[in-house]
Each structure stands twice: as C-alpha cells, then as structure tokens.
Amino acid sequence: MTPRRPLRRALTVLAVAALVLAGCASATRIESGTNDGEGVVGIALPTTDDLAVERLGAALRDELRGRGYRVDLQYAADDERTQVSQVQNMLTKGEDAVVLVPLSIDALQAAREAADAAGTALITAGRSREGGGVVAVSDPAADGRAQAAALQDALARDRASTTGDDPATVAIVAGVADDPDVAAAHAAAVEALAPAVAAGTLRVVAGADLETAAVADIPGEVEAGAEERVRALTGATDGGSPVAVLALGDAGTRGVVTALTTPDPDATPSPSPSASPDPGVVPAPPLVVVGSGGDAVTVRALRDGILVATVFVDTRAGAGPIADAVVAAADGEEPTPSTAPPATVVERAAVQSVFLDSGWLRAEDLSG
C-alpha cells in the first residue's frame, strides 16, 4: 500500500452528519491496528452505553484498520470536558486526523479550535451542518417524520379499541431542547402530525412544542427524564392521560420502556390485600408507543408488544463514508457528499430479520 501524505497540516474541517447519541459510561480507550504508513486516526465517541454509538465505533475502527490506519478509539463518560480532553490528547500525540461525535455544540467548538491550532483534520459527526463536505449517516428530521407516520398507522389500526370516535391523545417525549438534532426531529414529527390534528382525529396533549417535549437539560439525563415524564403522564387523574406516546430519540425510548415495564420506585406501596377491581370498569388499553433505536431494551420491548414500532438506522453504514472522508483529507480533497441511509420502521414481526439476522444483536441479548 502506498503511504499517504501526513495529515498534520492546515485542512478544511469536514462535516459528517451522524446519529448523536448519548448515555452514561466510563471513559474508555481502545488502541488497535498497525501502522503501515497510512497514519494514526483518533476516534472520539461519547459513550459505550449506547449500542448505536458502540456499533458505529467498532465498524469505523475495522474500516480504518482495513485501509491501513492505526486507530485510537476513545469513549467519553458522557462528559463534555472528558471528550474535549480526549481530543486534545489525540492532537498532542500528533495523531494524523480525529473523527469526533460531539456531546454538545460547546464540545464541537472547543475541538475545532484545538484542531485548527494543531493543523490537524477534524472530521466531525453529527453536530455541524454548515459548509464543508458532508457525508450523511442519519437524518433526524427523516427519523421524526417516520416515527410520526408509524404512530398514525398504529392508531388507525387500533382506533376502535383506543379512542373510538374521540381524537387520539398523544404525548411527545424528546431529549434536550438546545440539541439541534432533537429540534429537527421534533419539528418534523409535529409537522407530520399536523394534518391529523387539523382534522380532529388526533390531539397532542403534551410536548406540542420543543420546550415542553424536552425531558432533560443534558444528554446524560434524557433516559431518566423520559421515564419520569411518562410515569407522570400515565398516572394523571385529571383525564389527560394520553393513549399514545411518540418517543423521539434512543435514550428517550429506553426511558419510556422502563416506565412502562418496571414498578415506580417512588410509588407508595399498595395496602395488602388489594381491593378487587370494579367489574363495571373497563381497563384502559395499553399505550400505543413508537420509539427509535435498536438497543436490547428497545428491541425486547418491541418483541414483547410494549412498542408497536421503532425507527431504526444502522449506524454501521456510516463507517465507509467517514473513512472515505479521512482518505479525502489525506489527499487534500473534499469528500463527496452523500445522502443518509433511510430510516427503517421496524415492527414486531421484523425483529429477527432486522436485528438478529443482520448481526446487530445476538439472541442472548434479548434474553430476560
């Protein structure tokens, strides 16, 4: 393989749009590959606690190793300062390029400034949409539209049992309000639901605007915030409980699933023995829930009927385009723009083909 020119020179900062996903994990560093002349590429990812991020990191590591690069793969502890420090250390060590999935706009800006000062290419994933060559790995707006469409399809199928002649009441749960990806997904979902709202067949009872849909101030609190929000919504006694929930984002979906499948730790224990149910009261039908992502918690909930659908993007598809961007930077060129892979609406019957047959999950991941 012919050695490429070193990357440590002033280069255009490239933008690579990808899923920006967050969770909680300890900072982790993985060095792999051999250096046969292509150079060293640092990969700075936010967490190991989100399967979509982990799958992207592993696929990108393998892709770059296959192209002759040595890889310094690091995961932050869902902490902005940790991530910025990891990028700065990569630059200090003289790594030839850095691929970054930033936790926040501030982390992105700090990393850009450090990379510019070092004269090193920074290939960012997700948080930047301005200028430069763009290789898209996901489209938050497309995800939001797909989720809204899947929810309406499910409500139409189950209308007789969920709402009768009344409008379907829907709650929208989102992540952090100042996250541009969250904003894009929420705006697209609301727009897709608007015709049904105007027709009177659907009513958004919570989360119609981004500020009220958001459940946390920082990414690491989204899962717990979504759990708390849904417990509050489903426990409402004023008749305002929704019949459906649209959970935007993977972490929010996991929180919703937890709220629907585990006891409330803050609830007051019921007296024993409990009163017999009133035979004249018809129990409320289960919530119609559409989420996103393909981690084990979400897919188990889909298999078990807790979710009616999840919108899934295989992040491994981003490895090739990101690696192409690294090679383009090595050659002093802009990457060729590409569109994001389509979001796939996955229902219960497709769990095997989409998640297991593809190797995204193993059968043992869904046990328990």
DSSP string across 64-109 = HHHTT-EEEEEE--S-HHHHHHHHHHHHHTT-SEEEE--SSHHHHH
Q: Encode pLDDT of 230-289 as tens digits.
A: 999 987 655 568 999 999 999 999 999 999 999 888 766 555 544 444 544 444 568 999
Is residue 179 in a domain? yes
Tokens standing for 257?
């699933």
| Cα distance between residue 299 and residue 312, in whole Å | 10
Other CB atoms within a 10 A radius of the CB of residue 66 amount to 11
More confident residue, 18 or 154: 154
**What per-residue confidence (pLDDT) applies to 158?**
74
CATH number at residue 30: 3.40.50.2300
Query: End-to-end distance of the chain based on CA atoms, in angstroms?
Result: 47
Do 91 and 144 lie in one domain? The reply is no
Tokens standing for 256?
């919703």
Q: 18-22, 30-34, 357-361 — which one is most confidently predicted on average?
A: 357-361
- Per-residue exposure over 44-56, b if at least 16 CB sit within 10 Å of its own CB, e if not: bbbbbbbbbbbbb
**What per-residue confidence (pLDDT) applies to 368?**
66
More confident residue, 180 or 300: 300
Q: Encode pLDDT of 141-155 as tens digits.
A: 999 999 999 999 999
Is residue 294 in a domain? yes
Do 112 and 75 lie in one domain? The reply is yes
Is residue 46 in a domain? yes
Do 322 and 308 lie in one domain? The reply is no
Residue 49 has pLDDT above 50, yes or no: yes
Mean of pLDDT values over 213-219: 93
User: Under a CB-based contact definition with an 8 Å cutoff, are residues 367 and 357 in contact?
Assistant: no
- Residue 4's pLDDT band, with cuts at 50, 70 and 90, is very low
Residue 355 has pLDDT above 80, yes or no: yes
Do 114 and 149 lie in one domain? The reply is no
Is residue 349 in a domain? no
**What per-residue confidence (pLDDT) applies to 136?**
65
Is residue 363 in a domain? no
Mean pLDDT of the chain: 82
Do 125 and 146 lie in one domain? The reply is no
- Residue 162's pLDDT band, with cuts at 50, 70 and 90, is low
Q: Which residues pair with 182 in a beta bridge?
A: none
**What per-residue confidence (pLDDT) applies to 182?**
93
Q: Number of structural domains, the chain?
A: 2
Do 22 and 118 lie in one domain? The reply is yes
Is residue 212 in a domain? yes
Do 128 and 185 lie in one domain? The reply is no
Mean of pLDDT values over 168-187: 93
Residue 298 has pLDDT above 80, yes or no: yes
User: Under a CB-based contact definition with an 8 Å cutoff, are residues 144 and 248 in contact?
Assistant: yes
**What per-residue confidence (pLDDT) applies to 8?**
36
**What per-residue confidence (pLDDT) applies to 240?**
66
More confident residue, 12 or 272: 272
Do 160 and 289 lie in one domain? The reply is yes
Rounded to 10°, the helix 222-234/250-261 angle is 40
Residue 335 has pLDDT above 70, yes or no: no
For residue 366, CA distances in Å to 19, 135, 175, 338 come to 23, 32, 25, 34
Residue 325 has pLDDT above 60, yes or no: yes
- Residue 302's pLDDT band, with cuts at 50, 70 and 90, is very high
Tokens standing for 160?
């007789």
More confident residue, 166 or 11: 166
Give the range of the structural domain holding residue 98, as residue numbers without chain letter: 14-137+317-337
- Residue 43's pLDDT band, with cuts at 50, 70 and 90, is very high
Q: Where are the beta strands (DSSP E) in 254-353?
A: 288-292, 309-312, 344-346
| Cα distance between residue 132 and residue 335, in whole Å | 9
Do 189 and 253 lie in one domain? The reply is yes
The helix, strand and coil proportions of the chain, stated in percent and rounded to the nearest 5, come to 40, 20, 40
